[in-house]
Structure 1
Amino acid sequence: MKAIQFLIGFALFALASSLASAYDPSPLQDICVAIIDHKDGVFVNGKFCKDPKLAKAEDFFLSGLDKPGNTENRLGFNVTNANVEQIPGLNTLGTSAVRIDYAPYGQNPPHTHPRATEILVVLEGTLYVGFVTSNQLNNTLIAKVLNKGDVFVFPIGLIHFQVNIGKTSAVAFAGFSSQFPGVITIADTVFGANPPINPDFLGKAFQLDPKIVKDLQDKFINGN
């Protein structure tokens, strides 16, 4: 009886462990090109897949990442995505990429990717980058100045950032361990929530005067 209980417990533990470590599923077929019209498709990982026999080169292709993105915004940066939304052939393959352009002193502000680890390579310019560990490791900042050809890794789920500290534009490419890593920009999420989070609560959480919180919310929600 104890042996059976042990086997059942072990099986449940193994199942829980596999679910806990699973992000994008491992594909069980060569390709699973995502389609919008699901009439004849099969639903897999948030997307419907068309008949693999109908796949074509365009399903796995994207052009334009050689073109600079528009950095004329309040933060001075632009992200050009190459994920499953742009390349349907990425569906179930667990990978994607972006091009990031930075104006002089532009920044990709603190954010997280809930579904992916990121590896970043600098093509032009000088960036100051870093991530912050969780409470478990005392919120330690791990940061470094990167130059052309340097590579840096941001672990899955941790808050990280990049800042162009040079006087010229900078360019980087990043790869992700997910077909659709997602992004949570901390300031936009906290102060730009709609409807707004109670400013008294945020004031206590961030040790700020609620009036300052309201002012920040007005900027992020209404763009004032």
Structure 2
Amino acid sequence: MAPHVFLLGFLAVTCYVASADPSPLQDFCVADLNSPISVNGYVCKNRNLVQVDDFFLSGVNVPGNTSNAIGSNVTHFFAANFPALNTLGVSMARIDYAPYGLNPPHYHPRASEILTVLEGTLEVGFVTSSTYNPPNQLISKVIRKGDAVVFPEALTHFQQNLGNSPAVALATFSSQNPDVNTIANTVFGSNPAIPSYILAKAFQVSESVIADIQSQFGNDLKLLNKGEDKDGSQV
């Protein structure tokens, strides 16, 4: 029994490690964003060219522009614009919310997130997976300045400002490039658009409802209904 238990434990640890960013094999690897070489991450800058300022970041205190339809702005600080994060498996973002602004349902395919409220009151939540028991459970709470919440990796989550004044939060991630998929943008704003008859069946509504939603994301839907391509051929 003991060897089997050891093997299962080893496999569990191996799977967990494999799912995270690669562990660094050196003190640091400041990203060379100009390198033409493509790797899983970024090529290291020549050590002789690394500067003190590569490890420091300014502008986290600068509010983002929340003058948009959802009333929020996310300023990412990933390896792509903070090169010292390369290979370290961490990153962060500043999130600004207008009064009653929303950071809409989204998920990060490569990272868990800890969100800390710096100013304001937020309603936050995430939804468990379809195979969780019970499935698709909403875990939600109102949090305030000084509170924090964790959003597990790849689970859909959201935040909304409940106050009539701006709110600010700081998000930290377990990946140098957590990426983000906003549900509405992914489903209704893909390029080219997902045919409305597919989404109508998935959401159990009429195609006209789907077409109206998709039009808010700028898609050309004239010939996408009923399985027709834009040139009129069947797809």
TM-score (norm 1): 0.88
Show the counterpart of 1:71: 66
SS at structure 2 position matched to 1:161? strand
Q: Deviations over 1:24-74 (max 9, x none)?
A: 1000011111113337x8x65231111234311221221111111110000
SS at structure 1 position matched to 2:131? helix
- Residues 1:30 and 2:52 aligned together: no
Show the counterpart of 1:87: 82
| CA spacing shift, 1:44–1:201, aligned 2, 3 Å | closer
Show the counterpart of 1:204: 201
Offset at 1:208? Answer: 1.2
Unaligned runs of 5+ in 1: 1-5
Structure 1 CA distance for aligned equivalents of residues 35 and 75 of structure 2 = 27
SS at structure 2 position matched to 1:21? helix
| CA spacing shift, 1:203–1:52, aligned 2, 3 Å | same
* Bigger Cα displacement from structure 2, 45-54 vs 100-109: 45-54
Aligned-partner residue type, residue 55 of structure 2: F
Offset at 1:127? Answer: 0.2
TM-score (norm 2): 0.84
Show the counterpart of 2:183: 186
1:124-163 counterparts in 2 under 5 A? 124-137=119-132, 138-163=135-160
The question of whether the paired residues in 2 share the 8 Å contact of 1:191 and 1:221 is answered with no
The question of whether the paired residues in 1 share the 8 Å contact of 2:110 and 2:178 is answered with yes
Show the counterpart of 1:62: 57
Q: 2:18 aligns with which of 18, 21, 30?
A: 21
Structure 2 CA distance for aligned equivalents of residues 162 and 133 of structure 1 = 16
Q: Matched residues, percent identical?
A: 55
Structure 2 CA distance for aligned equivalents of residues 165 and 28 of structure 1 = 44
Structure 2 CA distance for aligned equivalents of residues 27 and 59 of structure 1 = 17
| RMSD after superposition | 2.4
Structure 1 CA distance for aligned equivalents of residues 77 and 96 of structure 2 = 14
Offset at 1:218? Answer: 1.1
Show the counterpart of 2:109: 114
Structure 1 CA distance for aligned equivalents of residues 149 and 34 of structure 2 = 39
The question of whether the paired residues in 1 share the 8 Å contact of 2:192 and 2:219 is answered with no
SS at structure 2 position matched to 1:220? coil
SS at structure 2 position matched to 1:115? coil
The question of whether the paired residues in 1 share the 8 Å contact of 2:41 and 2:87 is answered with no
Structure 1 CA distance for aligned equivalents of residues 39 and 189 of structure 2 = 32
| CA spacing shift, 1:19–1:120, aligned 2, 3 Å | closer
Offset at 1:96? Answer: 0.5
Structure 1 CA distance for aligned equivalents of residues 190 and 171 of structure 2 = 27
The question of whether the paired residues in 2 share the 8 Å contact of 1:194 and 1:221 is answered with no
The question of whether the paired residues in 1 share the 8 Å contact of 2:119 and 2:169 is answered with yes
